Structure 1
């Protein structure tokens, strides 16, 4: 045995290493070769550092500041838009609000003005939301007025030229017939609506009451149905060019009527027990027949359904 051993070559030493040691050795060599490429580059199998260069930090902070500024601007614009919308909405609601009302209708006295204003106040007390004019239910308001003041044909509330002010515009029925009975005067319009207060001139059609009945009995029956029938008959005949200048209530009856035609010597007999439109149509047809043949009867009777008599 010699005293001095010969040193092993690198190949001989590698042969003595195990397979696991060889793999670890190769990995260390690769790591050492990558370290010469630069300290700031990313390497495989190396833990990344959380620190960033100062240049990158300054650029990121500028972008963050611009983003925050844009966000503030958006919030400010949205807030201003909401404020303007709220102010506009409040102004609109105030312009539509009706607190005080003035009645506008020609020929109406001061006492009547207070009556209609009181009716409107009563209506608003039952429907306070309708003090906002765009919320007004016009058919319901008109029906409410007509139940308390039948002479009213239509009503409308418009702006009054000031905050929380409104103007009540009232239009009234125009009469086609007037009947004085029992110390009262009743008027009827073209729709057959009966009322007592008239703001127009008295109609040219008068009623000759020959029934001989007591006013109390006549007043109870005539007030509504009979006057409504007369008003519609006169209006429908007028549409066909037949003018009625007098209405006669025959003796001992309040269910029949005779209409005197202007420019003709005869009368038209009708009854409230039949539809007014049917009788008017038959009367118009009969008058055309009489005029074509040059007849001059005493009366034309359309009281029987689908039958016309003349004498």
Structure 2
């Protein structure tokens, strides 16, 4: 190879052009490598951002689920109860609240409203307080607090046994705490039947007869003041009305309406003829006997 000083002018120019061309090629290769590194770096950053976003998304989803569960728990959990009734004249309902709390303490899982067994709770209440008829509603009353609405048995008559007063509702269930006005109808039981608090003291047909009897008497302008069940029988009753000194003996197996109509006719007959009997027996349909 010729030394640089021995090169001709033409050879010198070619050498210079060759060196410039080589430098330019080296520059382009460096630029390509730099661009590749930059693109690789951007992809790496994008992947990191995607991963971060996924982690943040998962975190917020878990947080939302956690908050929802806490909210559901707070709105479903029963830590405090208050008992109310829209129909009872009694304002002292604390004993029922205590009974509900005792039930929930025995059954802690039922402090979650969705787990509460209303029938079992009602049965527990009725065991101690047979005057409770039903749980009509349970309403939210603030965080972890609920109102329980109770319906009470409404007496159609009072029942006197051995000097102790019971009340009887239309279902034939007896109880000794009345949350309503005292019924005007008084049943005196001399039948010797055993009355158990909270149990059926007579068949449903018996109290159906009593209800129809009261309704029929009201339609005829008579007000029944007392019903007596004579010894050893629930198939007959002795009915007294206001303003009349004698009673009528009636059969619980026959029509209440028909016997009331006959009783009114007898009252009118005795009043017209100035007769004052001890009683009148209307147990035989279409006939009446008095003494």
Confirm or deny: 8 A CA contact 2:185 2:227 kept in the other structure.
Answer: no
- 1:287 corresponds to 2:258: yes
Q: What is the CA distance between 1:83 and its match in structure 2? A: 0.6
Query: In terms of mean alpha carbon deviation, does 76-85 or 237-246 score higher?
Result: 237-246
**TM-score, normalised with respect to structure 1:** 0.60
Query: Would you say 1:95 and 2:75 are equivalent positions?
Result: yes
Residues 264-284 of structure 1: per-residue CA shift (max 9 Å, x gap): x976412xxxxxxxx4xx626
**Distance in structure 1 (CA, Å) of the matches to 2:196 and 2:235:** 12
TM-aligned CA deviation for residue 166 of structure 1: 2.7
Match of 1:32 in 2: none
Q: Which residue in 2 is equivalent to 1:137? A: 117
Match of 1:147 in 2: 127
Residues 68-112 of structure 1 show CA distances to partners (whole Å, capped at 9, x for unaligned) of 3123112212211221221122122122222233332453354xx
CA contact (8 A) 2:156 2:168 kept: yes
Q: Contact 2:187/2:229 (CA < 8 Å) preserved in 1?
A: no
Counterparts of 1:238 and 1:65, CA distance in 2: 90
State whether structure 2 residue 133 is matched by structure 1 residue 160.
no
**Number of the residue aligned with 1:182:** 162
Q: Residue 120 of structure 1 corresponds to which residue in structure 2?
A: 100
Deviation at residue 145 of structure 1 after TM alignment: 0.6
CA contact (8 A) 1:268 1:283 kept: no
Contiguous gaps of at least 5 residues in structure 2:
1-31, 267-279
* Kept after mapping to 2: 8 A contact 1:119/1:145: yes
1:208 touches 1:246 (CA, 8 Å); kept in 2? no
TM-score (norm 2): 0.63
2:236 to 247, 253, 257: 257
Q: Within the alignment, does 1:107 sit opposite 2:96 as a pair?
A: no
Q: Name the counterpart of 2:48.
A: 68
Distance 1:144 1:137, change over 3 A: same
1:220/1:128 CA distance change after superposition, 3 Å: same
Q: d(CA) in 2 for partners of 1:224 and 1:82?
A: 56
Question: Is 1:202 matched up with 2:182?
Answer: yes
Tell me how many residue pairs correspond in the alignment: 231
Aligned to 1:231: 207
81, 85, 96: which one aligns with 2:61: 81
Task: Provide the rounded CA distance (Å) in 2 between the counterparts of 1:252 and 1:309.
Answer: 22
For 1:227 and 1:165, locate their aligned partners in 2 and report how far apart those are by CA, in whole Å: 41
Match of 2:153 among 170, 173, 176: 173
The structure with more radius of gyration: 1
Q: Root-mean-square deviation (CA), in Å?
A: 3.8
Q: Deviations over 1:173-218 (max 9, x none)?
A: 1100111222211111111111000011111222255x4x6xxx44
Measure, in 2, the Cα distance between the counterparts of 1:58 and 1:236: 99
> Which structure 1 residue ranges, 5 or more long, are not aligned?
1-51, 271-278, 302-307
* C-alpha contact (below 8 Å) 2:158/2:167 kept by paired residues: yes
**Deviation at 1:119?**
1.0
